[in-house]
Amino acid sequence: MSYPFQAIEKKWQHYWQERKVFEATATDKPKFYCLEMFPYPSGKIHMGHVRNYTIADVCSRYKWMQGFEVLHPMGFDAFGQPAENAAIKNKTKPDTWTRKCIEWMRAELKKMGFSYDWSREISTCDSSYYRWNQWIFLKMLERGLAYKKASLVNWCPACATTLANEEVIDGGCWRCKSKVAQKELEQWYLKITAYKERLLDDLDQLALWPERVIAMQRNWIGKSEGVKIYFLLKERNERIPVFTTRADTIFGATYIVLAPEHPLVKGIIKGKPQEKVALRFIDKVAKESNAVRTAADVKKEGVFTGSFAINPVNNEEVPIWIADYVLMEYGTGAIMAVPTHDQRDFLFAKAHNLPMRIVIQQPGSGIRNPQELTEAYEGDGTQINSGHFDGLTNQEAKKKIAA
């Protein structure tokens, strides 16, 4: 006995459409909103769409059967380079190609029988939609929350577009697998950090979210309270601004680390014996995403630049390194490394046999020799090896040093 799926599916899809079964209405039922990432309409749907949208459809139908009023919309993320590239490939205009793809994809998604409320369909290329994007942008611009600056981005030369860190996989573009490069572009930014307190507070409401995802959100919000300290380059009259949240540990800064993309790097390695090795390392890191570079379970790598800086509090010469775990997007793209009081710096110093100095005495601990440490001590304590700040609590010292 065969299953006449074409007739059965057609019958029930017609039934759902006629009775508007999946259209959400204002009722007293508990509400459930299910939103998947809208597809790029640059072609027809593929098995990746089917898989992801099936998962959301199962979730929506489950809540529907539980008695919820379910809002499950669908739309098309129709602006951007993928649509433009597809139009060029098919020798037509982006608008013409995109509209045609939307028609194909809508028909295919309807045939899949997903429980979408098609009455709420949107396309981001429709002026009725993007006028509100423009309105929001102009409001942010009026209030100083939108600004332009040049910064390094992940660039796919084949797609001719920027990529998010999560879209760079093993150094390649998630879409076309082409090698991704770091490229400096001037672009618009939104000052989301102006809302960091509210954003961080609201994370506490996400009780059912995985802690791993919440931690990622906290890192992206990037709340840091600290000071900028300047280290003088030994060989030239230039200063390296370093952002730190731990001014109390500056006497323990035994080396400086720059992001490989830092504008000073190519100048301070030029003509040095380390230049070729450093350039190879810079090229290698350029293929890696920031997510990989900062992952806790990935070994941190770096090279010595051959140059030195002067620690401003004790006039000590400290070597300047470049390392993958320092990002140009965070702070100033330079850190003062304090291996005894920062675990990443500790592991890096151990791996490269770099000097260490304890400057905060852990309560109840008699350890003063850094070679006895098995890990960095990142807590509070009493200042030692810190000049006239010795004997103060590190919190007192932090305020005085930063003043």
Q: Which CATH number do you get for residue 109?
A: 3.40.50.620
Q: Are 354 and 329 in contact (CB under 8 A)?
A: no
Assess whether 241 and 335 both reside in one domain: yes
List the Cα angle 289/294/299 in 5-degree steps.
105
Q: Which CATH number do you get for residue 347?
A: 3.90.740.10
Assess whether 263 and 354 both reside in one domain: yes
Q: Which CATH number do you get for residue 146?
A: 2.170.220.10
Assess whether 246 and 375 both reside in one domain: yes
Which residue numbers in the chain have pLDDT < 70? 222-224
Final residue belonging to a domain, choices 221, 243, 267? 221
Assess whether 114 and 154 both reside in one domain: no
Which pLDDT value is given to residue 223?
66
Sign, Cα dihedral of 17, 18, 20, 22:
negative
Final residue belonging to a domain, choices 175, 195, 221? 221
Return the half-sphere exposure (C-beta side, CA atoms, 13 A cut-off) of residue 134: 8
Strands (E) across 72-180 are located at 75-76, 122-123, 146-156, 161-163, 168-169, 172-173
Which pLDDT value is given to residue 318?
98
Which pLDDT value is given to residue 182?
77
Assess whether 211 and 233 both reside in one domain: no
CA distance 101 to 42: 6
Assess whether 388 and 256 both reside in one domain: yes
Range of the domain at 186: 131-221
Q: Is this model's pTM higher than 0.75 or not?
A: no
Final residue belonging to a domain, choices 221, 254, 281? 221
Assess whether 248 and 288 both reside in one domain: yes
Which pLDDT value is given to residue 367?
77
The DSSP output letter for 393 is B
Assess whether 39 and 165 both reside in one domain: no
Which pLDDT value is given to residue 290?
74
Assess whether 260 and 286 both reside in one domain: yes
Assess whether 294 and 328 both reside in one domain: yes
Assess whether 256 and 345 both reside in one domain: yes
> First CA to last CA across the chain, in angstroms?
84
Which pLDDT value is given to residue 220?
75
Assess whether 276 and 384 both reside in one domain: yes
What's the number of domains the chain is made of?
A: 3
